[in-house]
Structure 1
Amino acid sequence: MSYYQNKQEAFQHASNKVNDAERTADDILMAIHEADYGTELAHLKEEVNQAYQQVEKALTVASEHQETQLKSYKEQLDKIRNQLL
């Protein structure tokens, strides 16, 4: 696999994880008064942690443009943490 593909793949994985975390956060906000809120919150924490890890990995091989976007993803994850966690 070429270096470019590694960068692109790492970036795509990070992007997917951030999107997963955002969808889970949206689901949590809708279910905030339901009985399984605690379970969903634990799931969200795991999603956010996985997304952070993937973003950090992607940053190690990111192009300049990707680095800017990945830093934006980290800010999105921080907002999720501050909102719900």
Structure 2
Amino acid sequence: MIDVVYFAWVRERIGVPREQVATKAATVSDLIAELRAREERYELAFSDISALRVAIDQTLTDFDAPLEGVREVAFFPPMTGG
């Protein structure tokens, strides 16, 4: 099981701040494919991954990152400064 955490508009579209996901995904991209196949709200949230960032166990990474041994994956929009 992996804890999947959603922030900002990703959380709003999916409707939950976090959930535990049983997955066979090898990479973050594989996990996204599994989530998108679940139902329409996930499809909407992950329809444009160029608008997303991902962190594994609180470390920013990319979508090709492996999930072996990972406890948490977080999805969020890019941060803006000002």
Q: What is the TM-score with the length of structure 2 in the denominator? A: 0.28
Greater relative contact order structure (CA < 8 Å, 6+ sep): 1
Larger radius of gyration: 1
Q: What is the TM-score with the length of structure 1 in the denominator? A: 0.27
User: Which structure features the higher share of helix residues?
Assistant: 1
User: Which structure features the higher share of strand residues?
Assistant: 2
